[in-house]
Structure 1
Amino acid sequence: MEIELTVNNASGLHSRPAGKLVNTAVKFKSEIMLYNGDKTANAKRILSLLKLGASKGSRIKVVIEGEDEKEAMTEIKRLFYNNFGE
């Protein structure tokens, strides 16, 4: 399952939103990967997410595979659509 989402919060995917993303991702058994250009990140690892360099306006491809992928995608989309609570 895959979707492309835009980072809309002013400061991009910095430590606080990345932490929220990790806290959400680890609840699921599915593998959750994010892609920003040629960079790849495991959504369950904060350092991996920070290395994406996702600033405001970045288009992020989210790929989720596993038994609870639909539920995981719903929660990941909610984070992006709510600008990670910022």
Structure 2
Amino acid sequence: MFKRQVTISNKLGLHARAATKLAILAADFDAEITLVQGEKQANAASVLGLLMLESGIGKMMTVTAKGPDAEAALEAVCHLINAKFDECC
């Protein structure tokens, strides 16, 4: 299993468009990707689960990945989060 901490840095946080983008990316990998924030956790391929995390700007979360594509999946998910979900601001 691979694990990394990231901080949500886009202005709107993990809103519907960002969650959808993340879920689509997660579905591309043969890995189980989980985001953990405090006591809450969500499968990265579940838009509803991601929205239930209620992650706003400045929130820190742990991303874990396990499976055949775990390392590449973790790298891609963390890159998307650190790139502010490709949003301009």
- Paired AA for residue 42 in structure 2: A
TM-score w.r.t. the length of structure 1 is 0.97
Q: 1:85 maps to which residue? A: 86
Q: How many pairs does the alignment contain?
A: 86
Runs of 4+ in structure 1 over 3 Å off: none
Which ranges in structure 1 are unaligned for 5 or more consecutive residues?
A: none
- Match of 2:50, SS state, is helix
Percent identity, please: 36
Q: 1:72 maps to which residue? A: 73
Q: Cα RMSD over matched residues?
A: 0.6
Q: 1:38 maps to which residue? A: 39
- Paired AA for residue 20 in structure 2: G
Which ranges in structure 2 are unaligned for 5 or more consecutive residues?
A: none
Give CA deviations for 1:20-41 in whole Å, capped at 9, x if unaligned: 1001000011100001110010
TM-score w.r.t. the length of structure 2 is 0.94
- Distance (whole Å) between structure 1 residues aligned to residue 52 and residue 28 of structure 2: 22
